[in-house]
Amino acid sequence: MRRVTAPLVALLLMVGTTTQAGVLAMVVADAPYARVWDAAVRAVEGYPIERAGDGTIVTGWLERQPREGEPPFTRVLERLTLRVESSARLITRVTVDVEAKGLGEGGWVPIENTEPAERAILDRIRPGRG
């Protein structure tokens, strides 16, 4: 595994939401697409990968403990779609869309606010974290 060592600039932007899950994006400047793609692949280590290629990573369901700030569930299931797109020579856009369910007293229920999970993935890609 290569470590991202070049100085990079990142800006986190909210790009839209849907009724079940938000979509967060990060724009990385001063880094080649290949370096950002490598960081995205490392960010989803531990997730079962269903598809990875052509700038898109789709995972299967991963069961985990709830994160701080999430509703008080016993367990959480999440899967994600991560897209890495080059928009200029050294400008790369990364978007993440998380679908999540929480296990409560009544069984598995959809988690409407997936922003904490999306931010956790983007933070793993963010310069200086890889």
**Could you tell me the domains of the chain?**
9-125 (3.30.530)
Gap between the Cα atoms of 118 and 95, Å rounded = 9
Gap between the Cα atoms of 88 and 29, Å rounded = 9
pLDDT surpasses 50 at 2 = no
Tokens of 14: 């909210």
CA-based max dimension of the chain: 50
What is the average pLDDT across 70-74? Answer: 87
Gap between the Cα atoms of 121 and 64, Å rounded = 14
β-sheet bridge partners, residue 98: 80
What is the average pLDDT across 82-94? Answer: 92
Across all residues in the chain, what is the average pLDDT?
81
pTM above 0.85, yes or no: no
Which residue do the tokens 């991560």 mark?
A: 82
Alpha-carbon 120 to chain mean position: 7
Which stretch of 45-49, 74-78, 87-91 has the lowest confidence by average pLDDT? 87-91
